[in-house]
Structure 1
Amino acid sequence: MKFNLKHAVAVAALAGAFGSAQAATVSLSGGDQTVNLGSDPTAANAYSVSHASGSFSDVFNFSLSQMSNSIASAVSLYLPGINGAASTYSITGATLSLFSDPGGDGTAGSNSKVASVVFGSSNGTLAVNNLAAGNYYWQLTGTADGLNGGAYLYAADTAPVPEPGTYAMMLAGLGLLGFVAKRRLDQTPSNGASFGMGMA
């Protein structure tokens, strides 16, 4: 598993932009949450989740219809828009994990953990590259210990593997650049100077 820094930075930017108009925010509250993100989730939806005091375990199910170049998830424990009340919501010991889920049931058991990150009481992102098609779920666990419990914002995004035609087009473009560079080099007038080792 190779970490993709560019994708993680993009998802972190997404986490900072949760309050923007581009994303539809779905609010969830109560006990442990199970959310179906559908097939090949995109960052079009963000989830605002709140919990009463105590430990929690939320599950975000999804499936990949094809191999994914990168799948990333972002969690923001800072709540835009309620700055004054933000200190009354607190989450500690936050852990974000990705599990494979061959049975598609969204529960631990025999499923294997693909990746995990502990981010405590700050914001967290987790990006994983080259996941095969199949069923998976993100699990966020932690302890809501603020005066009003805990709250967070969540989003996930999938970047599919580029189509073979994309690579062919890229190679054709590189070939064309090489051809143009060679042609320019051939058209450069020679000033009579020669390079190399001459025989005397």
Structure 2
Amino acid sequence: MKLHILKTLALAAALACSAAHADTLKVSNYTGGGAADAFSGAFLNLGSFDTVTTQPWQVSNLTTNGSFVAFCLERLVPVSAAAFGAGETYTASAYTSAAVVNLFNGFYGSALTSANSAAAFQLALWELLEDSANTKDLFAGNFNLTGYDFNLSTADFGTATTLATSMLAGTGAASDSYQLTMWDARGSQDLISAVAAPIPEPSTYALMAGGLGIMGYLARRRRQA
């Protein structure tokens, strides 16, 4: 009984992760950065495929009455009519892919400053997600922009791809820290959002250290048994 209680306390203290939860989200075009149309109409022309937007989304969380900005995780999956209308059910979970986390930590802070930087950030994100070879090359591999262009766009294709290449190379990266959330929906495009990572209080470090210490104690008890 005592060991069971210790194990429960250890897991609670050492595993600082949040459980997945479902919220109703309403998606609309991002209108930040001053003019309402500053980011609208930035579509990537995929030839025989439907055009896909490279603009970020403004998302209203109807469950919590909050709002946030999100980027696209699924390039060829559209946002559903429900998400644009009364709201779509999304499941939230932590997103921890190292390459994507590094991209956000380095460039998310400047991604919303212009249509070009937003498009560049989205292109760099798709490259990391879709190119399994991790070439970080927008014009080679699975995600290949050769022959593509922006259509009806407020963003310039050449400028955006140059910026995206710099982001993928880590050129001029900042040293911010973000916690990423993936928003998954069965009938709509998956999204990713970011919030600044909180600085842990000293008491948090003490709790985690205590939890790890208990887990180490339990491991020694098992070896001695």
Query: Structure 1 or 2: larger strand share?
Result: 1
Query: Structure 1 or 2: larger helix share?
Result: 2
Q: Which has the larger radius of gyration?
A: 1
Q: What TM-score do the two structures reach when normalised by structure 1?
A: 0.29
Q: What TM-score do the two structures reach when normalised by structure 2?
A: 0.27
